[in-house]
Amino acid sequence: MTKIYTPESAMAVVAHPDDIDFGSAGTLAKWSRNGARICYVLCTSGDVGIAEEGMTKQKAIEIREAEQREAGKIIGAHEIIFLREPDGMLQPTMELRKKIVREIRRFKPEVVIAMDPTMVWAGEGYINHPDHRAAGLATIEAIFPAAGQPNLFEELAQEGLTAHKTRKVYVGNWRESDCYVSIDDTIDLKIAALRAHKSQMKDWNPEPRVRERAKELAKHIEAQYAEAFRIVTLESDEDWEKYKGKAVGRK
């Protein structure tokens, strides 16, 4: 299925800097170009992700957050939020759920892009990072039902953050995808955003791999390059129109 769709606002919640750029940056750039407000939420700052002699966690945080901000600027992100949970030790705790609920209620995204909490084996040569699974599970549990329940996390209302329902969830999943988004016009931005993560790319050129993978996914639609998702629609078109501007949490 191909979706030619641009939400009014979208939030991507991931574990580490560069996760968005590997997974959904082409789609987010497309939406940003078409007028969507884009917010990134990073559960960690990748503080153990630079294995160099003399590197400290604090210095790694500074480097990787700066790289993510640069990458987000390339894609057209309007906000980049770092929750600064410990890298490599992320857990889908109630506290993390609450932090994500806070951001959802604050930004009020129409769409949330989440990592897949069910993916363990990711091809023949890669085991999915446990932080990815933890981020995915915490995000999904924050989206539904927590963010939309006004009597849950009532203390957030004291911050002026009222309940918000997300319309659609896009889960990054290339194995069980039901939506393919053409990124023909934004794949160059995706590659440029990945190159902004210099501490991770080093001498490796991401372009051949990114183009090859995007071409493979594009075989499902009439496009040269694509990104793939599994979509859950929590609010139908009709219900969403009724909800906007009227239900709890909408201003």
DSSP 4: -
- Residue for token digits 């999904």? 140
Query: Tokens representing 94?
Result: 């109630």
Burial pattern 178-210, b for ≥16 Cβ within 10 A else e, equals ebbbbbeebbbbbbbbbbbbebbeeeeebeeeb
Task: Map out the domains of the chain as residue ranges.
Answer: 9-243
Q: What tens-digit pLDDT sequence spans the chain (251 residues)? A: 444 799 999 999 999 999 999 999 999 999 999 999 999 999 999 999 998 989 999 999 999 999 999 999 999 999 999 999 999 999 999 999 999 999 999 999 999 999 999 999 877 788 999 999 999 999 999 999 999 999 999 999 889 999 999 999 999 976 778 899 999 999 999 999 999 999 999 999 999 999 999 999 999 999 999 999 999 999 887 777 777 655 444 33
Which residues share a beta bridge with 168? 111, 233
What CA–CA distance (Å, rounded) separates 128 from 196? Answer: 23
User: Cβ(229)–Cβ(172) under 8 Å?
Assistant: yes
Which CATH number does the domain 9-243 belong to among 3.55.40.20, 3.30.70.1070, 3.40.50.10320, 3.90.79.10?
3.40.50.10320
DSSP 140: H
